[in-house]
Amino acid sequence: MSVLITEDLKKYYGNEPNIVKALDGVDLEIQEGEFVAVVGTSGSGKSTLLHMLGGLDTPTSGKVIVGGKDISTMGDEQLTIFRRRNVGFVFQNYNLVPILNVYENIVLPIELDGNTVDEDFVENIIETLGLLEKKNNLPNNLSGGQQQRVAIARALATKPSIILADEPTGNLDSKTSQDVLGVLKMTSTKFHQTMVMITHNEQIAQLADRVIRIEDGRIVSVEGR
């Protein structure tokens, strides 16, 4: 089943004659459980694409369909609800709350949404990500790689339709980057979790199931299954 579809997706910034075509007709179809990397140089449109997929911004034209819902015509309020229910975000800088411990960070989005924490599932995630011994630690007692594992756990815990990762290894050395990619891939498989990662790092991108390359706002190649 396709979890995510874009149809002739365009995002233009500014007005003629200074219009920037950040996305210029992107057609994508991503299956449930797939781990996809979007790779491209700086300015190619990666962040813009991620923002469209996650409902952080609205397209100029075209469609974004997530879990069967067309989000391209939603207003701000609807998009906020959509994001909270359907999207898990993983960022370069982890975005953990410094005064909350690992466990509290992981369940925070569930609690903010007023939902009951599925303790068995959260425990399973914590164990799978190798964070059992760090459960009560504050983020600044953890390494960068461990902090990113917590951010991944937090994204998984809400059982989102998609996890969107924006340069998740951007602040990590190359060995830790490989580890974190291994964790993303392993959890995607284990929890059948759809993930889309953007990166400018070719080696990191090659670890995904499918690599989509964009240049000047267009898909120029797709590698993998």
Positions in the binding site for ligand ADP (CB under 6 A): 13-14, 20, 22, 40, 42-48, 56, 83, 89, 91, 166
In whole angstroms, the minimum distance from the beta carbon of 44 to ligand ADP comes to 4
Sheet holding 61-66, edge to edge: 20-31, 2-13, 61-66, 69-70
User: Length of the chain, please?
Assistant: 225
In the complex with ligand ADP, which residue's Cβ is closer, 35 or 89?
89
> Whose Cβ is closer to ligand ADP: residue 13's or residue 132's?
13
CB of 168 to ligand ADP, least distance (A): 10
- Least separation in angstroms between residue 54's CB and ligand ADP is 8
Whether residue 33 contacts residue 188, with contact meaning beta carbons closer than 8 Å, is answered with yes
Complex with ligand ADP: residue 88 or 145, whichever CB lies closer:
88
- Report the SS3 class of residue 197: strand
In angstroms, rounded to a whole number, what is the distance separating the alpha carbons of residues 198 and 218?
Answer: 14
**Is the CB of residue 102 less than 8 Å from the CB of residue 134?**
yes
Residue 9 or 128: the one with the smaller Cβ distance to ligand ADP is 9
User: Cis omega (within 30 of 0) on the bond before 17?
Assistant: yes
* Least distance from ligand ADP to the Cβ atom of residue 60, Å: 12
